Amino acid sequence: MNERVEHDRLRTAVPVSGRGPFSFLWLLLPLAVLGLAVWWLIATNPLASFGNGAPPVENITVERTILDHNGIGLLVRAGGSEPMKIAQVQVDAGYWHFEQEPSGPIARGDTAWIRIPFPWIVGEGHTVTFVTSTGATFEHAIPVAIATPVATTSTLVSQAILGAFVGILPVAVGLMFYPALRGAGPATMDFLLAMTIGLLGFLLVDTFEDAFEFAGGSAALFQGPTMVILAAVASFMLLTAFGRREGRPTGLALATYIAIGIGLHNLGEGLAIGAAFAAGAAGLGTFLVLGFTLHNITEGIGIAAPILKVRPPLWSFAGLTLLAGGPAVLGMWIGSLAYAPQWSALALAIGAGAILQVIIEVGAFLAGRHDKGAAGLLTLPVLSGIGIGVAFMYLTAMLVKI
Amino acid sequence: MRRWLPFDLSRRGFLGAGILAAGGAALSARNAAGQATHDHSTMRAAQQASTAGHAAKQDHLTAHGAMMTVGEVDNARNGFDPTAMLTDWDTGEVTKRSDGRTVRTFEVTGEDKEIEIAPGVMFPAWTYNGRVPGPALRATEGDLLRIVFKNYGSHPHSMHFHGIHSARMDGVPGAGVIDPGEEFVYEFEAKPFGCHLYHCHALPLARHMHKGMYGLFVVDPDPARHPDMADVAKSRLLGTPENANWQEMAMVMNAFDTTFDGENEFYACNTVAHCYAKQPIKVDRNRPVRIYLVNVTEFDPINSFHLHANFFDYFDQGTTLTPTLKTVDLIMQCQAQRGILEFSFRDHEPGLYMFHAHQAEFTELGWVGMFDVVEAVS
Ligand SMILES: [Cu+2]
């Protein structure tokens, strides 16, 4: 009998006091506990009992490499458990003078420039080894030494032209198929939309792969792979929510989203190209540039597919082209001027989320064209469209794979 | 995009792309790719300018330019100075036994000690008497030696002497390897004369040696036992006027694997990388030079000593009074191999003369120094 009373009181205790005049106390209690815990941790240092004389965990990531007439410049980020000191620097297994800016120990998460007056050799590889005060070593490879291009107006213009060539031109060429495709029947429309899904599917995998690769090269504290997934999911949800605030996107709106998705992918590609220039690793051939252009023409056709029946105004074509291709130019500039792997990974992850959103929306649009819903997707034009979209991207990617 | 602009581009891949680029690029591509095949002559001139600029700042370091560790080692904190080590012989405490024989007693302790092996780089060493290499012990042929070894370290240690002694005094497990807090006295007669070494022989052997437990053990010849070559023997015997004319130096070639991966990050002579490059060794050109050299480099099969602009006579193990190699400028030693080098700068103009291991890798990782040959050492 007593027990039951006890239970009843417990059951009502929280709501009753929650409504009382001192309800704010229930906010203070958890904060007070947290405060006490922090005080205890700092005051008593229970971690001391784990101290076994082991040196602190150290980590160094190189984010930028500059090769110029002064030698080698490296932007390093410290990821150790405690501030760490770069005591000595080897280049190709020999100690070299270096200057650090700012000097002194590098705090966790901070960066510093290391400048080494090393006479690097054009076209050959070099390895820089950092030796910390505990004697731990961290290697950074420069696979092919090339002078880092200096960002001048002329190089920026050159990059813009190259970016336009591989980003804007193919989208424009793809969109030029618009008049020819206007008269397409329902089966052709299905095929083209499905092909768009196929091409976006390829880009999704490709973008994720590159995002994870950049993530792998970034400092551990950025938690690269987790960041990529979270950023991709966030951008997917934001774009989907934004796109659906007035119902499912169709027509020009859908084309715009496709252009945004492809544009973000191209931004990531531009970043990588620019970064490759900055790192001195870029060697472009005509064949590669043309192959890549061909590879990207499909993107234009994909953007055109949802607007074949809506006759948008002419300026919208220019807008779509710039939206999808323009970021390649922007990416090249950003990549060549300031580059860090974690930002490239982030940009690519956002692009992957955007591409996923477009795949879903194009799929929904395609399904909505038939009364049969999702079952209507299992038709010959749709399946062959997806297959050919992926295959075309895959095969043209071969042209540009070294 | 990794496919056409890889970061981990193989060299061959790069060259292939470069050839394609050179083959004539589509308008903009040519411009952009042109940055990849850049101007050699400009770069080279710039490099020379940069190197020269650096060299000018650095006076005696010019010989190795910017290729050097940065900063200075705190010798006071270490408790030893590589330059002082060159001439710091430990001759022990000498007493006479009733039968007239000399008894020489050395005190050596084993200690754990964090030492600075290059500017800013600390190494958790195990030491004899708090220094790496340990004290350079020096006795005379025929002395009765008593080495009192106290282990203040955190691990079992010993002193294993290269020389002739009984099994009980060998410093191997069961014969003089002692636990922390214990003491052992190694007793044997100093023979044969020569340039030897001692080191810890506790297990695992490589770890105990690489941690810093080694040192020179020199036995000077007794001139009375070598009447045919008494003059040579006298010149070797510490304390004689003949010996005083020589500029004698103790050098131990060693290296440190700071990452414990079986490869050394630092090479040196007497522990501190580049110490004699940054502080050249003063040599009086009118007096001959004798170096007691021992190689205790762990993880590399051999080390070497090369002298610039000069040749020397070499006495392998130091157990002969006539050179085993005459007029050479390079000798190599496997681990624990040692010998005596004799040379002179009498006919040289004053200046800096380099010496180093002729494994270029060792040189660049710290094992390089200079003799500063002057008219007279003040
Ligand atoms: Cu030992």
B22-to-A108, A196, B31 alpha-carbon distances in Å: 44, 36, 11
Q: Do A284 and B68 touch (CB under 8 A)?
A: no
User: What is the B222 CA–ligand 1 centroid distance (Å)?
Assistant: 32
User: What is the B319 CA–ligand 1 centroid distance (Å)?
Assistant: 27
Beta-carbon contacts of residue B263 (< 8 Å; ≥ 6 apart):
B257, B299
Element (H, E) at A241: helix A224-243
Identity of the residue numbered B23:
G
> Which residues numbered 144-173 in A keep a CB inside 8 Å of some CB on B?
144, 146-147, 149, 154-155, 158-159, 161-162, 164-165
pLDDT above 50 (res B21): no
pLDDT above 70 (res A49): no
State the pLDDT at residue B309: 95
From A116, A120, A284, residue closest to B17, measured CB to CB: A284
State the pLDDT at residue A20: 67
Residue B48 Cα, gap to closest chain A Cα (Å): 8
Q: Do B1 and A273 touch (CB under 8 A)?
A: yes
Q: Which of B19, B35, B114 to mutate to test the interface with A (most CBs of A within 10 A)?
A: B35
Residue A241 Cα, gap to closest chain B Cα (Å): 30
Closest by CA to B63, choosing from B365, B280, B252, is B280
Q: Which two tokens stand for residue A251?
A: 């027509």
Please state, rounded to an integer, the average pLDDT across all residues of chain A. 81
Contact A376, A369 (CB under 8 A): yes
The CA angle B18-A126-A120, to the nearest 5 degrees, is 80
What is the ipTM metric for this complex? 0.74
Give φ, ψ of B360 to 5 degrees: -55, -35
Span A160-214, pLDDT tens digits: 888 888 888 888 888 888 888 887 777 888 888 888 888 888 888 988 888 898 8
Shortest CA distance from B364: residue in chain A:
A94
SS3 (DSSP) at B270: coil
Place of tokens 């038709």: A379
Chain B residues within an 8 Å CB radius of A116: 66
State the pLDDT at residue B36: 36
Asked if residue B350 has a cis previous peptide bond (ω within 30° of 0), the answer is: no
Asked if residue A102 has a cis previous peptide bond (ω within 30° of 0), the answer is: yes
Closest by CA to A163, choosing from A256, A64, A284, is A284
Q: CA A206 from chain center: how many Å? A: 11
Q: Which two tokens stand for residue B356?
A: 């180093």
Kind of pairing, strands B247-256 and B289-295? parallel
Beta-carbon contacts of residue B330 (< 8 Å; ≥ 6 apart):
B304, B305, B306, B307, B358
- What is the band of B337 on the pLDDT scale with cuts at 50, 70, 90? very high
Span B78-136, pLDDT tens digits: 999 999 999 999 999 999 999 989 999 999 999 999 999 999 999 999 999 999 999 99
Contact B126, B159 (CB under 8 A): no
Q: Do A162 and B29 touch (CB under 8 A)?
A: yes
Q: Do A133 and B6 touch (CB under 8 A)?
A: no
DSSP assigned state of A166: I
State the pLDDT at residue B121: 94
> Which residues numbered 205-234 in B keep a CB inside 8 Å of some CB on A?
none
Q: What is the DSSP string of B330-357?
A: EEEEETT-EEEEEE--TTSPSEEEEEE-
Q: Which two tokens stand for residue A79?
A: 């990821």
Identity of the residue numbered B36:
A
Chain A residues within an 8 Å CB radius of B43: 69, 122, 147
State the pLDDT at residue B28: 34
Give φ, ψ of A170 to 5 degrees: -65, -35
pLDDT above 80 (res A5): no
Range of A301-305, B19-23, B310-314 with top mean pLDDT: B310-314
Positive or negative CA dihedral for B220, B222, B226, B230? Answer: positive
Q: Of the given ranges (A4-18, B242-256, B328-342), which has the lowest mean pLDDT?
A: A4-18
A108 interface with B at CB cutoff 8 Å? no
The CA angle B13-B16-B22, to the nearest 5 degrees, is 140
B35 interface with A at CB cutoff 8 Å? yes
Q: What is the DSSP string of B184-198?
A: EEEEEE--S-EEEEE
Chain B residues within an 8 Å CB radius of A339: none
From B31, B49, B120, residue closest to A88, measured CB to CB: B120
DSSP assigned state of A250: -
Largest Cα–Cα distance of chain B, in whole Å?
Answer: 99
